[in-house]
């Protein structure tokens, strides 16, 4: 599509809403870079735990966030997260293992951490030549409020719990994950994160997409239509 314009896409949503898998697939089909901002917070948190830093200490956490070297692939077909050169993409000791999962909300709550990592996220988006789709907690309102497409992807609790359970099993960080444990994690994570960022209601200009009754393909198509509408529009014309 040589005539397509560069487009920035921001996707927010609660845990288990499907924003990661949907955003990755939309990036794949539309030729955009893909940024998982949650993985960036998890990677920095992994570094703090490695160094024995108290993740509840705002000063120490911010020091780690500013000092750590993070390498996140933006290729939707190749997931890779490295911290100071160490691949921490997968496995029980990686960024989606229980140790990081139980600590990342506290780590990410600190203003100094969020300020540093938001700046890095904007740099990644700005560097993508054809555009980028970034997903996370406050992308539509804080990181990229001027994105061409802004979507709040949500789903009811039952759907989110089941999606999260399947994700944990697939990642290799849990072979037999009890639904009750996953539900507690999803609800707890949302409650903790909602104290520092808004992702449960759409801001002005943000499209709300409830995927509770939609298949994965239907959800992808809904977001893809918004993206392609902008890609095909003349420069200077917003959706």
Sequence ranges of the binding site: 13-21
How far, in Å, CA of 46 to CA of 199, rounded?
24
Coil, strand or helix at 193: helix
Coil, strand or helix at 205: coil
The helix, strand and coil proportions of the chain, stated in percent and rounded to the nearest 5, come to 50, 15, 40
Q: Which residues are annotated as a binding site for ATP?
A: 13-21
Q: CB under 8 Å to 155, separation ≥6 — which residues?
A: 14, 16, 17, 18, 163, 210, 211, 212
Q: Is the distance from CB of 23 to CB of 150 less than 8 angstroms?
A: no
How far, in Å, CA of 8 to CA of 126, rounded?
9
What single string gives the DSSP state of each residue in 119-167?
A: HHHHHHHHH-TTEEEEEESSIIIII-TT-SEEEEEE--HHHHHHHHHHH
């Amino acid at each position: 599509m040589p005539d397509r314009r560069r487009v920035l896409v921001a996707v927010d949503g609660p845990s288990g809403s499907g924003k990661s898998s949907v955003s990755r697939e939309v990036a794949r089909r539309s030729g955009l870079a893909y940024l998982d901002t949650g993985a960036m917070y998890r990677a920095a948190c992994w570094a703090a735990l490695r160094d024995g830093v108290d993740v509840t200490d705002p000063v120490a956490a911010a020091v780690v966030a500013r000092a750590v070297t993070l390498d996140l692939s933006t290729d939707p077909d190749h997931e890779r997260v490295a911290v100071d050169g160490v691949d921490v993409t997968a496995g029980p000791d990686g960024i989606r293992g229980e140790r990081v999962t139980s600590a990342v909300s506290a780590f990410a709550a600190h203003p100094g951490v969020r300020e540093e990592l938001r700046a890095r996220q904007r740099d990644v988006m700005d560097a993508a030549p054809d555009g980028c789709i970034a997903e996370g907690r406050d992308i539509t309102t804080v990181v990229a409020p001027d994105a061409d497409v802004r979507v709040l992807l949500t789903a009811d609790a039952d759907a989110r719990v089941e999606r999260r359970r399947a994700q944990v099993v697939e990642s290799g960080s849990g072979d037999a994950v009890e639904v009750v444990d996953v539900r507690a994690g999803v609800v707890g994570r949302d409650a903790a994160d909602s104290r520092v960022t808004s992702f449960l209601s759409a801001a002005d200009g943000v499209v709300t997409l409830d995927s509770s009754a939609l298949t994965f393909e239907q959800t992808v198509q809904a977001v893809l239509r918004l993206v392609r509408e902008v890609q095909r529009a003349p420069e200077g014309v917003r959706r």
